[in-house]
Amino acid sequence: PQSKLPALGTTIFSQMSALAQQHNAINLSQGFPDFDGPDYLKARLAHHVSAGANQYAPMTGVQPLREAIAAKTAALYGHQPDSNSEITVTAGATEALFAAITALVRPGDEVICFDPSYDSYAPAVTLAGGIMRRVTLQPPGFHVDWSAFAALLSPRTRLVILNTPHNPSATVWQKSDFESLWQAIRGQEIYVLSDEVYEHICFAEAGHASVLAHAPLRERAIAVSSFGKTYHMTGWKVGYCIAPPALSAEVRKVHQYLTFAVNTPAQLALADMLNAEPEHYRELPQFYRARRDRFIQALEKSRLKVLPCEGTYFLLADYSAVSDLDDVAFCHWLTKEVGVAAIPLSVFCAGPFPYKLIRLCFAKQEATLDAAAERLCQL
């Protein structure tokens, strides 16, 4: 058939994980932990399965989970969304992003994103008939140039997609970025899709700045998160989005025919976890900071230059002292010859991105990080 996405192949994450497996390399490419989530969460899942919670969940998500999300949001961002009309549980953040884009973007609409950008946004926009407009962020700071952003605005601009803490650059937005965004789009019918899946993995002193904490902006925003990141269970694929009632209603029109509902016992277990152990997500920055710092320290003896990491469980490393290869070729070489798999940065950009940067995932056991660092120090 004639492809609707002719330029697209398999995702870089599938490609690099497969290559890592084939070459028995330490896999720091695709972002997932090599350790398990909390025992309590696993026990609650087993409990709900045994107790017979095995039929369809309500389309919007089970009530206890929506209530627990509302309470957590209020405690962290000073805004309590209505659990009935403003919170929708989805099959991972991926589904929330796809449903939001499909619900909002009409043929010919323009969507602004910030490159490097996560790989799932653009295909969803293309399938909806939208056109991507990209602000390119430059290393090492990856700060948004707000005049470049303003220059991309047009009467066709419908949606802005942002991600903080940012995969892959590991930078975070400040409150002032949200204010700049608001000043740029106020008075126009432009919506905001804020991908905050790493909201609990933020090392910045000021903490995570959420779109939900910006009162005027959240009136037109869809905030997306994922329990996969927070509870070290990327395979559970449970996420959610928060948006005002009218926006949530549109997202739900898509969600009800994309998946209808999400895994019932996992939702109930996650509600139990949020209620019983709120310290888990509160301690997550500390948990990941220790891994980040251990890995950075171990890489100090290498010829890689590590960039600052303010959030996510990814580190960027500049390999220009090591090789002249482009980043894709370098990642293949690194996997096959050095035994460490990483992600090349240029794949997150539509335009030229002429830097020698790779992304390394540090959501790994200390022994894994130490072994990887040892190999990387031989470069």
Question: Is 194 near ligand PMP (CB under 6 A)?
Answer: no
Contact partners, residue 349, CB within 8 Å, separation at least 6: 115, 116, 117, 134, 136
Question: Is 34 near ligand GLN (CB under 6 A)?
Answer: no
Which secondary structure element, helix H or strand E, spans residue 279, and what is its range?
Answer: helix 279-282
The residue among 31 and 165 lying less far from ligand GLN, judged by its C-beta, is 31
Q: Which residue sits closest to ligand GLN, CB atoms considered? A: 31
Question: Is 13 near ligand GLN (CB under 6 A)?
Answer: yes
Strands 314-318 vs 305-306: parallel, antiparallel or unpaired: antiparallel
Among 81, 239, 265, 285, interactor with ligand PMP by CB under 6 A? 239
Give min distance, CB of 17 to ligand GLN, in A. 8
Question: Is 11 near ligand PMP (CB under 6 A)?
Answer: no
Please choose, out of 89-97, 203-211, 240-248, 340-348, the segment that lies near ligand PMP by the rule CB under 6 A.
89-97
The residue among 149 and 353 lying less far from ligand GLN, judged by its C-beta, is 353
Measured distance CA(263)–CA(100) in Å, rounded: 20
Question: Is 167 near ligand PMP (CB under 6 A)?
Answer: yes
Contact 105, 125 (CB under 8 A): yes
Among 17, 27, 102, 163, interactor with ligand PMP by CB under 6 A? 163
Measured distance CA(181)–CA(190) in Å, rounded: 11
The residue among 19 and 93 lying less far from ligand PMP, judged by its C-beta, is 93
The residue among 217 and 315 lying less far from ligand GLN, judged by its C-beta, is 315
Question: Is 93 near ligand PMP (CB under 6 A)?
Answer: yes
Question: Is 275 near ligand GLN (CB under 6 A)?
Answer: no
Measured distance CA(364)–CA(146) in Å, rounded: 36
Question: Is 31 near ligand GLN (CB under 6 A)?
Answer: yes
User: In the chain, where do the E strands start and end?
Assistant: 26-27, 87-90, 110-115, 131-136, 157-163, 191-195, 221-226, 239-242, 305-306, 314-318, 340-341, 343-344, 357-361
Size of the site for ligand GLN (CB under 6 A): 5
B/e letters for 262-290, b = 16+ CB within 10 Å, e = fewer, are bbbbbbbbbbbbbeeeeebbeebbebbee
Question: Is 11 near ligand GLN (CB under 6 A)?
Answer: yes
Question: Is 197 near ligand PMP (CB under 6 A)?
Answer: yes
11 binds, among ligand GLN, ligand PMP, none (CB under 5 to 8 A by kind): ligand GLN
Give min distance, CB of 358 to ligand GLN, in A. 13
Give min distance, CB of 168 to ligand GLN, in A. 7
Q: Which two tokens stand for residue 341?
A: 């798999």
Distances (CA, A) of 71 to 75, 163, 283, 318, 379: 6, 23, 18, 41, 48
Among 77, 98, 114, 118, interactor with ligand PMP by CB under 6 A? 118
Question: Is 124 near ligand PMP (CB under 6 A)?
Answer: no
Question: Is 116 near ligand GLN (CB under 6 A)?
Answer: no
Question: Is 167 near ligand GLN (CB under 6 A)?
Answer: yes
Phi then psi for residue 24, to 5 deg, are: 55, 40
Q: How many Cα atoms sit within 13 Å of 291 on the Cβ side? A: 24
Could you write out the three-class secondary structure of 241-252? EECCHHHHHHHH
What are 40-45's contacts with CB under 8 Å, separation 24+?
40/272, 40/273, 40/276, 40/277, 41/231, 41/233, 41/269, 41/270, 41/272, 41/273, 42/269, 44/268, 44/269, 44/272, 44/273, 45/265, 45/266, 45/269
The residue among 118 and 149 lying less far from ligand GLN, judged by its C-beta, is 118
The residue among 86 and 195 lying less far from ligand GLN, judged by its C-beta, is 195
Among 164, 226, 230, 264, interactor with ligand PMP by CB under 6 A? 226
The residue among 110 and 195 lying less far from ligand PMP, judged by its C-beta, is 195
Q: Which residues bind ligand GLN (CB under 6 A)?
A: 11, 13, 30-31, 167
Q: Which residues bind ligand PMP (CB under 6 A)?
A: 31, 92-94, 118, 163, 167, 195, 197, 226, 228, 234, 237, 239
